[in-house]
Chains A and B, each alone.
Chain A
Amino acid sequence: MTIAVSILPEQQLAVLNAAYRRAVARKRLRVLAGLGLFVAALIVASIGAEVNLRTFFTYFGNFVSYFDRILTLDSGQRVWTDFGEWFWGLRKWLRLLGETLLISYVGTLIGAVLAFGLNFFAAENTSPAPWLRFTVRRLLEFARTVPGIVFALIFVMAFGLGPVAGVLAIAIHSTGALGKLFSEIVENADMKPVEGIRSTGASWISCMRFAILPQVSAGYASYALLRFEINVREASVMGFVGAGGIGQEFIVAIRKFYYSDVSAILVTIIVTVFLIDITTGWVRGRLFGKEARH
């Protein structure tokens, strides 16, 4: 079957063409104006951020050679020629890394439990009172927006140096992040079971326990595992401000220019994070099937 393409008469075509060109020109103008605005913002920003291209190009060699230096042992050889020498402190680092994992585990668990306790009050459909929802939401927002490491700085002052501050900082930040995600899952839950349970005369708590919880628990676990992954990274830098874990050792190595140590610790951290990612990904896949993976 052939389809005839109708060609319009000349005057009609000219009108349409002109309209088309005008529309395109208007669109172009808008894109150009947006681009101009963006470039102006960039220029202002680069003045604000003291961008200095000369420093950048003068010292860029340093950046490249930095990686050369951290891959060289004190003896002048490449690090991979002597693993024993490169990872001389492996036992100590693994212990600190274990501490980092524990910090993120305990922090995530405390955060998840707190978020679990709060999220029903923050969700649109289950919150018992609007003022309660408003308060809880603002609280979670606060916990989420203030970066974890700022909490860690303050907690180090209150609880002293050490992993306790790190755990609490991670716990609070996770509460904020997970509370929001959890309440979003609850908002997507089917409300019919709640009506069913309520019609039997059950209290609010029973409604949550028997109608909402069975629908949402898989999602909760999935998000908590995802958060654990993120927190392992977070916990590895908590030591920068004295809140325990491998970060302490790492920042000393960087600041004191123990080059081969820097690369060795970095490799241990990356491998650990990688292993944790794979494991939690596998667990989430096993527990909840493919659709729960985000």
Chain B
Amino acid sequence: MSKSPDVNTAEIRARHPDVFNRPASSRLATPAVLVAALAILVYGLVDLDFSPSRFISGLSQLGWISVMMMPPDPGSSLPLYLKALGETLSIALLGTTLAALMALPVSLFAARNIVPSVILRFPVRRFLDSIRGVDTLIWALVWINVVGLGPFAGVLAIAVSDFGAFGKLFSEAIEGADQKQVEGIRASGGSALHEIRFGLLPQVLPVIAGQVLYFIESNTRSATIIGIVGAGGIGLQLAEQIRVLEWQRVSFLILMILVAVAAIDFISGKLRYAIIGQRAVA
């Protein structure tokens, strides 16, 4: 067995001063950040009323609730719950489609390669940003004021809040498109609309379709919660059953949501592959 050569530490130190003698500021940075993070955490726990006794009694309460949840049981309301689940899926599908249809033309105005003028692009972008900054639940509350309680308010809430997200994503997809094909169309005498239709859309449509499918998936999740504020779907049932402490029904509803989300994940994953091939979605 060969013996390892004698290591001359002093020489190595001399050769790599930047590794061994780092300035104090860079050596202390990580511990300082950790201490600061911990300090804020402790302050937060105290300020938010996290007393150990409260925590323990809450945990025991939670354990009790979990025991009460077993076994999941819909009681006699299974048809009602299935209808609510159908409503939730409808909300997700319709809301996302509406949002995509509205966002496509607007996203053209937010893309740098279509609208070169900053003055025109900037307000469109800020507009989309501020729509995105407002949560879906808040939009649901607003729409309930307009069209009344029920799933339709949910559809509109998802449509509006996704409109902001889609506008940004689509415009990024458009900016990422290859300009050569657009130039080709222009060279053969196409108008601006021709350039978009034949040069741009064939490139960006698969990307957009992938994003829309992904959003339908994630909106199934959002659609389950907007019912909590009264905008229809399975969330309404869930919130009601939690309020009246019917824990077996609650666990059944949660199970239904999990299964539905898994099913939608599976289907949209297959569809995505079918549409855009084996490429990963950006």
Contact surface of A with B, Cβ cutoff 8 Å:
41-42, 44-52, 55-56, 59-60, 62-63, 66, 99, 102-103, 105-106, 109, 142, 145-147, 149-150, 153-155, 157-160, 162-164, 167, 233-234, 236-237, 240-241, 244, 250-251, 254, 266, 269-270, 273-274
Contact = CB atoms under 8 A, between A and B. Distances in A.
Contact of A159 (B54, B91, B150, B242): B54
Contacts of A240: 137, 228-229
Interface string B18-58: 00000000000000000001001101110111100011001
Contacts of B37: 109
B151 A254 contact: no
A49 B48 contact: no
Contacts of B89: 45, 48
Return the 8 tightest CB-CB contacts between A and B, nearest first: A48-B90, A159-B58, A45-B90, A49-B90, A106-B44, A158-B62, A158-B61, A49-B151
B254 interface: yes
B169 interface: no
B138 to A, nearest CB: 7
A150 B65 CA distance: 14
A102 B93 CA distance: 35
Contact of A157 (B54, B59, B229, B242): B242
Interface of B: 37, 40-41, 43-45, 47-50, 54-55, 58-59, 61-62, 65, 86-87, 89-91, 93-94, 97, 129-130, 133-135, 137-138, 141-143, 145-148, 150-152, 154-156, 221-222, 224-225, 228-229, 232, 235, 238-239, 242, 245, 250, 254, 257-258, 261-262
Main secondary structure of the interface of A (DSSP, over half): helix
A20 B143 CA distance: 50
Contacts of B262: 145
B197 to A, nearest CB: 15
B94 A270 contact: no
- Of the listed residues B65, B145, B156, the one surrounded by the most CB atoms of chain A closer than 10 A to its CB is B145
22 contacts: A42-B93, A42-B97, A44-B90, A45-B93, A48-B87, A49-B90, A52-B152, A55-B148, A62-B145, A66-B142, A102-B48, A105-B44, A145-B261, A146-B258, A150-B225, A153-B238, A154-B250, A159-B54, A163-B48, A164-B54, A241-B239, A266-B134
Nearest to A221: B33
A236 B261 contact: no
A150 B49 contact: no
A206 to B, nearest CB: 20
Contacts of B90: 44-49
A49 B94 contact: yes
B65 A51 contact: no
A234 B152 CA distance: 23
- Of the listed residues A56, A60, A158, A274, the one surrounded by the most CB atoms of chain B closer than 10 A to its CB is A158
A56 to B, nearest CB: 6
Given A270-B133, A270-B134, A162 B229 contact: no
B254 A146 contact: yes
B75 to A, nearest CB: 19
A147 B257 CA distance: 10
Given A159-B54, A164-B58, A142 B48 contact: no
B146 A150 contact: no
A164 B50 contact: yes
A155 B225 CA distance: 16
Contacts of B41: 105-106, 109
